Amino acid sequence: MACRLALWWKSRLLRDNPMIRSLFQTRLMSGVVGLLAMTSGAALAADWSVSGYGSVGYSYENEENLGFLRNIAQPDEYQRNGSFKPDSNIGVQFDLQLDPQWSVTTQWVMKERVEQRFDDITELAFVRYTPNENWDIRLGRLGLNAYIAADSRRIDYAHLWLRPPQEFYGGIFYDAIDGIDVTYRSQWDEITWSLGAQYGRIKQKLQNTASSEIAATQSDQTLALVLSLEQDRWFGRLSYVHVGQLKVDLDGNSLLAIQVVNQLAQAELGPISAEAAQLIEQINLREETIEYWQLGFGYRGEQWSLQSEIYTILGEKAVVPEGVGGYAMAGYTVGSVTPYAIYGRFNPKNAPYQAQSDWGLSPVNGAQLAEVQKWLIGGINSTYIDQQTFSLGVRWDVTAQIALKAQYDYIQIADNGYGLWAIPLDADLQGRDVQLFSVSVNFVF
């Protein structure tokens, strides 16, 4: 579950303190009436618990027309330099154990996102059935099992880092899948292994880079497969995600602009119409297929902590940021303090999209067509990622429930490689080096 890593960090502080350990092992035993559509007798006999987590984080970078994003699902606020928004959140989780086989879990999270409706803040909502020690079946809203931090990405307390590496997690904006998850676990000698599959719908709302308009993305045919291994303090995983029938529903001015360019593609203006048709094909995601492959491993020792993940994105449209991304992290614990270092990199597969002709040379409305061409190419390249980050940080476990963190990131962004940042479409896309300073307080309860 999502709290597994948080409990591991707690154990490092609690193992020698029986009084505190007893406190955290106590569970609430009471009747639940009206929580779910169940019989009152079953609810009164059930065990339930409430837990939660949160972070108060502040990040600062002194760059013009550039805003830091924890991930691309956050609003594009490129005017800001320092902000509490990217790394701050609060979440609460309810667990209801009906009997040894059946349980229910729900989780709600308040964080920076483009909309804050009830459906948006609902991170988890599933029923779990465990017929025996090998099988685990869940139905409902689940964490998309595509990476190591699938169920704990929001719980910064559960991880050594201040935030997930941008080159890996910054471009993964699908947090949950509405569907079914089936996992089989077993033991082979000293290795614990599991094989899992998920199938269902993923959806997310994104903000248009050029305006405040909201675009809805959705795939009703998403399949995730994962193989996980654990031996003592080592762990590893291999996962594959197939996102089928992906569509992006545009709204407002963006939809109108697409319609205008469609007319331009049919206007028989030679190279201009040919390129307009090509641009529409590349920028308009309807029934698109995207594939992800991910490989990760780690080590959690008494002092050393190691973790690394690498992934690749495959798609057919230029607006899909194809490439290979990953990170490597190492930390060393001395008492309650753990300094760490992270290196992250995303290497694009293709070069940025370039104009095939000069629309400004058109004898009719040349200036206006040049602006339309610039807007289209800017929209395609707004998802282009090409950067690397060198990070140094420190974690201080103040108590068994509170951790303080500070992190310095030195980010090198290549020309046009601003796909993980908030930046206006008309900005200078020349590469630059960015220094990001961050502090945060993480807690669980």
Please say whether the beta carbons of 112 and 86 come within 8 A. yes
* Residue 22: pLDDT over 70: no
Q: What is the pLDDT of residues 227-244, one digit of tens each?
A: 999 999 999 999 999 999
Residue written as tokens 């910054």?
Answer: 170
Question: Rounded to a whole number, what is the largest CA-CA distance in the chain?
Answer: 82
- Predicted pLDDT at 211: 60
Q: Could you tell me if residue 114 is inside a domain? A: no
Does 432 score more than 50 pLDDT? yes
pLDDT at 25 exceeding the cut of 80: no
Q: Residue 225 belongs to a domain with what CATH number? A: 2.40.160
Q: How confident is the model at residue 23, as a pLDDT?
A: 35
> What pLDDT was estimated at residue 18?
38
**What's residue 32's pLDDT?**
32
Chain-wide mean pLDDT for the chain?
A: 88
Least confident of 171-185, 263-277, 399-413: 263-277
Angstrom distance (rounded) from CA 265 to CA 262: 5
Residue whose entry in the numeric block shows the structure tokens 């092992």: 25
Phi, psi torsion values for 111, nearest 5 degrees? -155, 175
pLDDT the model gives residue 8: 54
Query: Where does the pLDDT of residue 12 fall: very low under 50, low under 70, confident under 90, or very high at 90 and above?
Result: low
Q: What is the rounded CA–CA span in Å between residue 101 and residue 434?
A: 51
Reported confidence tier of residue 214, pLDDT bands at 50, 70, 90? confident
The answer to whether position 159 is within a domain reads: yes
What are residue 410's DSSP bridge partners?
A: 390, 435
- The pLDDT tens digits of the residues spanning 26-45 come to 332 333 334 344 434 444 55
52 has a pLDDT exceeding 80: yes
Tell me if 286 is assigned to some domain: yes
How many domains does the chain divide into? 1
Q: What is the 3-state secondary structure (H, E, C) of the chain?
A: CCCHHHHHHHHHHHCCCHHHHHHHHCCCCCCCCCCCCCCHHHHHHCEEEEEEEEEEEEEECCCCCCECCCCCCCCCCCCCCEECCCCCEEEEEEEEECCCCEEEEEEEEEECCCCCCHHHHEEEEEEEECCCCCEEEEEEEEECCCCCCCCCCCCHHHCCCCCCCHHHHCCCCCCEEEEEEEEEEEEECCEEEEEEEEEEEEEEEEECCCCCCEEEEEEEEEEEEEEEEEECCEEEEEEEEEEEEEEEECCHHHHHHHHHHHHHHCCCCCHHHHHHHHHHHHHCCCCEEEEEEEEEEEEECCCEEEEEEEEEEECCCCCCCCEEEEEEEEEECECCEEEEEEEEEEEECCCCCCCCCCHHHCCCCHHHHHHHHHHHHHHHHCCCEEEEEEEEEEEEECCCCEEEEEEEEEEEEEEEEECCCECCCCCCCCCEEEEEEEEEEEEEC
Measure the CA–CA gap between 347 and 324, rounded to whole angstroms.
Answer: 5
- Residue 331's pLDDT is what? 99
Average pLDDT over residues 92-103: 97
Q: What range defines the domain where residue 223 resides?
A: 50-88+130-444
- Per-residue pLDDT at 250 exceeds 90: no
In a domain, 172, yes or no: yes
> Helices 366-381 and 252-265 sit at what angle, rounded to 10 degrees?
120
Is 167 within the bounds of a domain? yes
Q: Which residue has the higher pLDDT, 254 or 316?
A: 316
436 within a domain of the structure (yes/no): yes
pLDDT tens, position by position, 397-426: 999 999 999 999 999 999 999 999 999 878
pLDDT higher than threshold 70 for residue 381: yes
Q: What percent of the chain has pLDDT over 90?
A: 66
Lowest mean pLDDT among 90-94, 165-169, 282-286: 282-286
What type of residue sits at position 34? G
CA atoms within 13 A on the CB side of 126: 22
Identify the weakest region by mean pLDDT among 60-69, 182-191, 210-219. 210-219
Asked if the structure places residue 145 within a domain, the reply is yes
Among 20-29, 170-179, 306-315, which is the least confidently predicted range?
20-29
Global pTM reads 0.87
Let me know if residue 98 belongs to a domain.
no
